Amino acid sequence: MDETRERIRFILESGREEGFLTPFERALLDLLPRLRRFARALALDAADADDLCQIAIERALKAEAQWQVGTRLDSWMYRIMRNSWIDEVRARKRRGETFVAEEEGEMVGDTDDRRIEARVELNKVDRAMAALPPEQREVIALILVEGLAYKEAAETLGLPMGTVTSRLVRGRQALMELLGEAA
Amino acid sequence: MTEIGEERIIAYVDGELTPLEALRFERAMESDAGLAEAVARHRRLRAAIADRFAAVEAEPVPDRLRRLIEHDDTVIPFRALPKADPIRRAGYAALAATLVAGLVVGQLLPRALPGPVTEKGGRIVADGGLARALDRQLASAQPADAGWRIGVSFRSKDGRYCRSFEGGAGAGLGCHDGDGWTVERFVAGSAVRGGGGYAQAGSSSAEISMAAQDMMAGAPLDAAMEKKARDSGWRDRR
């Protein structure tokens, strides 16, 4: 009973502070730092990552009714974000754009200051992550960055366990090579 | 590290082995320096990747992302609360929704209106002018200067009479529960005053219309049925 009272107090107070959020919105807000982290591991460029977050949040708010109370909101959000990122990757491929990440820090032929800055900031880990194919990177992001169990990652991505583990092994081997003993 | 493959080493580092498998793995590590070194390498890799992005999690969240969630045009779905024991039967989410919703309604409704909602036994119920409008006002004959306009009246799937309404503060949906109108849904919106009454911006009205469609059993009440229901005190439940 104390627990219930505590929850009510929390809801009332957090409502007051946050401008009256529904429990769903409240939970989404609490998840934001982790969502940004996951977005950065996928997109690597800081500005791209926050844009990706924005798209995923907008989609989630529209699709709130599809989220089932009692299931994990984080897995649901990871899925939305990952799908949003795949859409973005495909669209850019169609337009023939290259990624900041794929050029591994070279600055040839880019006059966009923000991108150059972002590129310079890419550290060694970012560059190694950027060198991974997207399907390996998302597995690494979910398991190594977000700390999901293999089974949870497989469910989030809608892939068989075997596919997830083989991508994880290949991704890790590639990272190991790229980072060497610096890792 | 000849017999134990990379996949198993990684699974060990990631904590994916069963306790028995992990025990055997550790036993193998004791007598295999190469294996122990491989484990250490994979641990360092995992830590390096995790640390890099942990820094992102620690950054302050940009305001523009927070604002997406802390929007002003709040839509509050009121969950129908079971009468007996709201907490046990509907669970925490329903309780939370009701509380938050109650708070929002209380805050958002203009003070000029005579106390349009109140809380009663865990429900948000219509009060004052809104309760009177829901009780008495017929959609077919509304006073031009009515503070609340009634939209559609209908019978819900669970047998209650429900009516949509809109006014200065927003649009909503109330259902008669024997001793008053439970406000099932309320959308705060910006009304435009004109033509002697309030008209809600399209989005909040649309939101309420959709909710009404979902709850409705059959067709909306026509003028004669609406009058009959009103004269029965909205009580002739089947």
Q: Supply the DSSP string of B20-70, one letter for each residue.
A: HHHHHHHHHHHT-HHHHHHHHHHHHHHHHHHHHHHHHHHSPPPHHHHHHHS
Q: Please give the residue of chain A at the shortest CA–CA distance from B58.
A: A33
Nearest-CB residue to B6 (from A125, A126, A169) = A169
Do B157 and B200 belong together in one domain? Answer: yes
Whole-number Å distance between alpha carbons of A158 and A178: 28
> Tens digits of per-residue pLDDT, B108-117?
443 333 357 7
Could you list the mean pLDDT of each consecutive 10-residue stretch along chain A, which spans 183 residues?
50 45 85 96 94 94 84 92 92 73 44 51 83 95 96 95 96 92 51
What is the structure's pLDDT at B124? 78
CB atoms within 10 A of CB A155: 16
- Which residues does residue A15 pair with via DSSP β-bridges, in sequence order? none
Interchain contact B52–A (C-beta under 8 A) = yes
- Same domain? B104 vs B152: yes
pLDDT digits (tens, 9 = 90+) for B192-227: 444 444 444 456 677 788 888 888 888 889 889 999
Tell me the pLDDT tens digit for each residue of B186-200.
Answer: 776 554 444 444 444
Residues 206-235 of B with CB under 8 A from A: none
Q: Same domain for B213 and B157?
A: yes
**Do both B220 and B175 map to the same domain?**
yes
Cβ distance of B66 and A32 shorter than 8 Å: yes
Is residue B63 situated within a structural domain?
Answer: no
Residues B101 and B21 in one domain: no
The amino acid occupying position A108 is V
**Which stretch of DSSP H or E encloses residue B148?**
strand B148-155
Q: Does B88 fall in a domain? A: yes
Report domain extents, chain A.
21-95, 98-123, 132-183
- Distance (Å, whole) CA B173 – CA B175: 7
Interface contact B49-A145, CB threshold 8 A: yes
In-domain check, residue B236: no
A21-95 — its CATH code?
A: 1.10.1740.10
Q: Is the CB of A37 less than 8 angstroms away from the CB of B65?
A: no
In CATH terms, is domain A132-183 a member of 1.10.10.10?
A: yes
Query: How does residue B149 score in pLDDT terms, banded at 50, 70 and 90?
Result: confident
* CA separation for the pair A84, B167 (Å, rounded): 39
The tally of domains found in chain B comes to 2
- Give the residue among A121, A181, A118, A171 at the shortest CA–CA distance from A142: A171
Q: What is the mean pLDDT of residues B170-196?
A: 73
Query: Which residue range forms the structural domain that includes residue B44?
Result: 6-58
Dihedral, CA atoms, B202, B203, B208, B210, nearest 10 degrees? 100
Structure tokens at B196: 């002697």
The predicted structure's pLDDT at residue A25 = 87
Chain A residues within 8 A of B104 when measuring between CB atoms: 15, 20
Distance CA B149, CA B156 (A): 20
Residue B187: inside a domain: yes
The H-or-E segment that residue A16 falls in is helix A2-18
